[in-house]
Amino acid sequence: MRRFFSHALFSLLLLGPAAGCHAAVKPFPVARQDTKLAAGPLQTAVFAGGCFWGTQSVFERVKGVKSTAAGYAGGSAETATYDQVTTETTGHAESVEVTYDPSVITYGGLLRIFFSVAHDPTQLNRQGPDEGTSYRSAIFFKTPQQKAIATAYIAQLNTAHLFAKPIVTEITPLKGFYKAEAYHQDYALHHPNNPYIQVCDRPKISALKATYPDLFVDYKGQ
């Protein structure tokens, strides 16, 4: 469990309080499949953007998101435990499952948050002090529509040259999402004084509120 020890100290010493905060308003996706809000049943999306503590802390504060879960995607059910995933041999990425109301926010709207606030999509197999394939940037699509929207949006962002470096986010089919251990759920909410949370995750929440005030909602836990 490396993050509980070395990562917090490393962050404080080398990164500073604004580390990992890559906030800037991004345009809406222009893909035809994501043009408007639509009434219907709740939908789910799965994103990987480094440590799932921070990714979850962002999405659970987005208007229209009904629930979130920290977990693992990209590997098998048999290897979906924190101790195994941190060996960097299972193929899993620390991920967050987002359940949302499509009449309030679209899948493309979630992608906007993912690419502008939740993480830095130009970092290959790492985010801040966390390094390895389990911290990679990835979109695990559940439907052809999600794949099309994500693919088109990355092309749109690259064409607009909104990042200094190329986007390295993987777009891959979701084979399974496995919820992480209970102590990982809402970790940033329950451990606000943890040095890692203060340095790596609290700035993301502040960036969400500052960058997208119309989408920010307070969160007090599920």
Active site residues: 51
Within 8 A by CB and 6+ apart from 132, the residues are 86, 88, 125, 126
Note whether 81 and 94 are within 8 A (CB).
no
Q: Which has the closest alpha carbon to 9: 195, 192, 135?
A: 195
Question: What is the rounded distance in angstroms from the CA atom of residue 119 to the CA atom of residue 127?
Answer: 7
Note whether 172 and 140 are within 8 A (CB).
yes
Note whether 48 and 175 are within 8 A (CB).
no
Question: What is the rounded distance in angstroms from the CA atom of residue 120 to the CA atom of residue 127?
Answer: 7
